[in-house]
Structure 1
Amino acid sequence: MADNADRAAEIIENRLEGAIGNIRVPDTVASDPECEDCGIEIPQARRLAAPWVTTCIECQGIRENKMRHRR
């Protein structure tokens, strides 16, 4: 017989699986190997790990910081 902790764990697991299943990775590939913000070449390792990126790590960090401050 399942207790409340078992049922709660099952609910959490189902919700996590649903959330993970809803994550969509862009299927587009950036054609330009250069960062669209600063023009520096995006490292190959970054382009292989995330082929859709259009910015270098530094510029992406700047974009994310700006988004945090807008909220």
Structure 2
Amino acid sequence: MSDFSEMAEAFEQARTAPDVTDRASGLEEADRIGGVASVVAKMQGQGAEFCADCDVEIPDARRKAYPSAVCCVECQSIREARAV
């Protein structure tokens, strides 16, 4: 099963959960799956098609120049500024 389908399944379970606790658990599971997939992709040198912070498509030029990019240039600049 792909990470996307696992996340979609977790979101669907959260959406249809009978109570708040079950909904929260489903959302937490979806978030965990997405986080693990992101870390694995980084370790394999794979970047993302969409920015992890703003969800805007990362331009092809950036993805070619920096194949493991997971953020657009603007969001990466913000991350670097916060790290200082």
Q: Pick from 20, 26, 46: which aligns with 1:29?
A: 46
RMSD value, Cα: 1.4
1:47 aligns with 2:43: no
- Kindly report which structure 2 residues correspond to 1:1-71, keeping only aligned pairs within 5 A, or say none: 28-30=45-47, 32-68=48-84
1 or 2 for the larger relative contact order (CA 8 Å, sep ≥6)?
1
- Greater Rg, structure 1 or structure 2? 1
Per-residue deviation at 1:29? 1.3
- Residue type at the aligned position of 1:52: S
Gaps of at least 5 residues in structure 2 are 1-42
Paired residue total:
42
- Residue type at the aligned position of 1:60: Q
Identity, in percent, stands at 43
